[in-house]
Each structure stands twice: as C-alpha cells, then as structure tokens.
Amino acid sequence: MGVIISTKEQIDAYFKSEDLGQSSLKSLENGVESFLSNRNEVKTSFYQEKGHFIIGSGVDTILTGQQGQYESETYVSELDKKPSDAIMSMVAHVYSMLIEHLEEDESLESFVLDNGNSLADYQGLLDQARAYQQYNSNLKVETFYSKMITEGDLYFQDLIAAHGKQVVDQTQDFLIKDIVMSLKTHSRTSRFFDRETQQNLVDTDVYYQLPVYFVYKGVKCKALMDLVIVVKNEDGSIKAVFPYDVKTMSGLTRFFPTSVKVRRYDIQAAWYTLALQHFFGQDIVISPFKFIVESTTDVGSPLVFECHESLLNIGRHGRAAMEMMPPAEKPELTSFMLQRPVKGYEDLLEDFIWYEANGWEEDKTVKLNKGFLLLDWNGIKET
C-alpha cells in the first residue's frame, strides 16, 4: 500500500469523537477538576494560545499531514510577533462576537470582513471583552482603548483575513519550517519522513496520522498515531509494527527524559501500544514505542528515544511510592528521598470507570473517605 495519510475528514472526526483518549486520561492523575477542565476545555480567559502547541501542531501537520495541509489551515501574519496573551484574548473575543452577528444577519458579512475595519470601530465590544477578562481595572478607559488599538489592531486584521485559520506570526512560521527542515534532512531522522522512498517500498506500509478506535474494559477509547511503519512478510502478513510520535521541546533534546516524566509521555507510549495491539491484533509484534524529538530553542540536533520495557510498564501499571535507602556514609538517616506513587493508564482507567458510575462531583479519595483523610509526612495516605 505504500504511504497512507489520513484525510482531514478522518482527523476532524477523531477530534470530535467523545471516546476516551490518553490526553484526557492523563489529566485525571491531577484530580476530577483537571479531567473535567481538559474534557470541557474550561479556560480562564476567552482565548488562550499555547505557543508550544502551535509550533508542535505546525510541525506535525507538515511532516505527517496531507500535502499542502499546513498552507490551507494556516494564515501567516506579517507580524514578527503576536501581542500578549491578554491582548490576543480580548481581540479574539471581539472577533468572535462579530462572527456571532454574522450568523444572525448575513448582510453584515461584507461589513465585518471589510479590510478597513479597526478595533477602534468596536469600543463597546472591547468594553465587554475587558469586563469578561477582568483586565487591569486601574487603566483609564482612554488608555485602555489606545493600548488595545496600538497593540492589537494588526492581530485583529489577521483574524479577519484568516477567517478561521490558525494565525502564526513570522517568528513562529520560520521556527516551524526550520524544525521541519532539520527533521527531514538530519541523518538520524530523515528516513522517517522520506515519502518518495516510502512510497516505493514493496514490503512496508507507512501510516501518517493514523486514528485508532478500540474498546478496553468496556470503555470506548481512541488514539491518534503520528507515524506507524508496518513491515510485512513476502506473503503480505504483518511481521512487525513500529510506532513513532514527533515531539518538540524547549531546551536541549537530550533532556527529553525530564519532559517524559513531567508530561507523562510514558502513558502515551503505553496507551498507543495498547491501541495498536487492538488495531493489528494481539499476536502482532509491536516494537517498543519511539519518540522523534527536536528542540524549539536549539534546532539541529534531533534525537530518537526508544521506550524501555520498564518505562512502558510504568506507563501502563504505574509505580508504588518508594523510599530510597540512605547512603552508606550516613547510616543515621532513615531515608533521604521519597519517590511519590505514579499511576499508569490501568489505574487511571479504573478511576475513570469509577467516576462514570459514581459521578464527577468530587475526587474519589474524598468521596470514599467522606471527607476525613489520613495525613502523613508524604501527604494524603491511601486507606
């Protein structure tokens, strides 16, 4: 089959699906509020733009998406750098209110989308956006208007011109393409994205952006793979499956192991392995999951990390709390380090099933103990 790239319709359907993904499941580690916030996309302001997400998403789109998809979904601003998050949030709110009016009165379309429009024309909407975000009440109204127009008007024009596309500034666009170039040309990573060569392989199928749906322990689940390489025998039967995920990070790529722990990429790797076992069959060999990693601040030294069996095991089953033994030269110490307990996707899925049956009003530990919790030096002690 060569190279198989999922369509935009398939990807859109994946994100619209309410099936449980590893991202939502991971958020449950921080409690029910974190899970509900992730699932319902609760935000503290009208619009929050995560720069690292935009960079990572842009890189993924070019490397693993359809040809020309980045250009069709992205509007490149002439701004070197977009305004602050607070300014963008209020500008986006104004733009959204205008779009809502379009749905009520189609005759407004030519008025709103006229390039001559300025934030200065919508001071009433700016007032509403400011009140919603509770932005700097100490600023005089005239000073607020001046600041918004000076810092936010060009971004407002971008939103109008983009008409729903993701806006990236010049700095972001350059960085995205610089990372893509690095991954496509570096000796360690170029083979993963050489579609011309991949298309001509007779014993290998290469899947880009592969959505997988499966049922595990009675729960409808999903996973979206950046890259899956399937090697076949001469008779066409599957010999082995090699899964990969593309990551971008700040700092040197050799420090990626820290990001794994902070962002719980071990759960992602184990969850994706589970998904592939359901997709291709339990008897198919799934190669250890690999991360292809490039830096956003030190482009040019991508690394490929293979997940050790012990890491995948923690991603699945978690790890109990561990007290480290004292060093031999200080026997008087009873302990010098405590590793907190870590949940894997099996534990988190059990929690999810419990919440689905018992409600999402408060944390499981609180509800089971009726608000009376046992406290020791390390925190709340499970009973």
Q: What percent of the chain has pLDDT over 90?
A: 72
Higher confidence at residue 27 or residue 339? Answer: 27
pLDDT at 214: 98
355 pLDDT higher than 70: yes
- pLDDT tens string 122-173: 999 999 999 998 999 889 999 999 999 999 999 999 998 888 899 999 999 9
pLDDT confidence of 108, banded at 50, 70, 90?
Answer: very low
pLDDT at 56: 94
- pLDDT tens string 240-288: 999 999 999 999 999 999 999 999 999 999 999 999 999 999 999 999 9
CA distance 169 to 131: 27
Question: The tokens 């250890």 sit on which residue?
Answer: 288
53 neighbors 46 (Cβ within 8 angstroms): no
Domain boundaries, the chain: 41-178, 190-381
337 pLDDT higher than 60: no
Neighbours of 317 (CB within 10 A): 15
CA distance 306 to 128: 50
Distances (CA, A) of 225 to 8, 21, 207, 279: 14, 12, 8, 12
Using DSSP, state whether 242 is helix, strand or coil.
strand
298 pLDDT higher than 70: yes
CA distance 17 to 14: 5
Its sign, for the CA torsion 87, 88, 94, 97, is negative
Sort strands 166-168 and 74-76 into parallel, antiparallel or unpaired.
Answer: parallel
Calculate the average pLDDT of the chain: 89
Its sign, for the CA torsion 137, 141, 143, 146, is positive
Q: Which two tokens stand for residue 90?
A: 């209020």
pLDDT at 53: 86
Distances (CA, A) of 371 to 33, 53, 368, 374: 16, 37, 8, 10
Name the fold adopted by 190-381. Answer: Lambda Exonuclease; Chain A (3.90.320)
303 pLDDT higher than 50: yes
Distances (CA, A) of 40 to 21, 70, 233, 358: 14, 27, 45, 19
Q: In this structure, which amino acid lies at residue 198?
A: Q
pLDDT at 304: 98
Strands (E), 37-134: 74-76
pLDDT at 114: 53
pLDDT confidence of 46, banded at 50, 70, 90?
Answer: low
- pLDDT tens string 58-83: 999 999 999 999 999 999 999 999 99
Q: In this structure, which amino acid lies at residue 212?
A: V
What letter does residue 228 receive in the DSSP assignment?
E
